[in-house]
Structure formats: structure tokens, C-alpha cells
């Protein structure tokens, strides 16, 4: 079955330190993966998608099919990065025909 696992509920790092938010998935087909972010009192929004191979707000994520992972990384954390981060997999029974299956999220806290 399709599944997204984010092993860390909470991750706290100091400003300027590197950040890595882990995401593992299980999917029988060719995965389409996304990271969504929810800042305090704001709506959930797309951060980046693997197909675009982009860097948004200094974050990058590389799809590793061998390890079935899509970890989110940033070399130097900033206080404004504090938020809930959700890894998501397109499709599957957890997301509907075209929707997304989300992990349970990681709460990232950047300490000054």
C-alpha cells in the first residue's frame, strides 16, 4: 500500500545549523513527491516538488528511489523556517485518484 512516513514529529535546531527533515515512502509505481509547509496561522502551501528539482527558500529535496526517500534539506536554518512540514505522495488510496497522501508531519523549530 502507498504510504508516507515522517519519522520525526518534532525537530529542533539552532539558527544557522543544517536541517534535514526525513521522508520515506512506499509506492509500487513511479512516485511523484512533494513537500508542503504550514507556517503558523497560515494555510498549507506547496514548498517544492521533486519533478521540478528546484530550490525554494534554500530548501532542496532529492528523490532517492533506492532508499525510497525524499528528505528535505537546508544548509543553514533561519528562524522563519519554523513551521510544520508535510511530505506528500501523489495518488494512492490515501490520496484519491489525483490527490495526495500526506505524512503525519514534522514540526520544525528553529532556535535563535
Contacts to another protein by CB under 8 A? 32, 34, 42-46, 49, 51, 86, 90, 93-105
Using DSSP's 3-state secondary structure scheme, residue 52 falls into helix
C-alpha cell at 11: 525537530
Report yes or no: 96 and 73 within 8 Å, Cβ to Cβ. no
Best CA proximity match to 79, nearest among 10, 12, 15, 13: 15
Q: How far apart are CA 78 and CA 22, in angstroms?
A: 18
Rounded to the nearest whole angstrom, what is the least distance from the CB of residue 78 to another protein in the complex? Answer: 23
Rounded to the nearest whole angstrom, what is the least distance from the CB of residue 90 to another protein in the complex? Answer: 7
Rounded to the nearest whole angstrom, what is the least distance from the CB of residue 33 to another protein in the complex? Answer: 10
Amino acid at each position: 500500500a502507498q504510504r508516507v512516513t515522517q519519522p520525526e514529529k518534532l525537530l529542533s535546531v539552532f539558527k544557522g545549523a543544517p536541517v534535514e527533515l526525513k521522508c520515506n515512502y512506499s509506492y509500487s509505481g513511479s512516485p511523484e513527491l512533494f513537500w508542503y509547509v504550514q507556517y503558523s496561522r497560515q494555510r498549507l502551501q506547496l514548498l517544492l516538488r521533486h519533478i521540478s528539482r528546484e530550490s525554494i527558500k534554500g530548501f532542496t529535496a532529492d528523490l532517492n528511489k533506492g532508499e525510497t526517500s525524499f528528505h528535505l534539506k537546508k544548509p543553514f536554518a533561519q528562524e522563519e523556517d519554523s513551521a510544520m512540514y508535510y511530505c506528500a505522495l501523489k495518488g494512492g488510496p490515501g490520496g484519491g485518484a489525483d490527490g495526495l497522501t500526506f505524512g503525519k508531519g514534522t514540526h520544525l523549530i528553529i532556535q535563535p
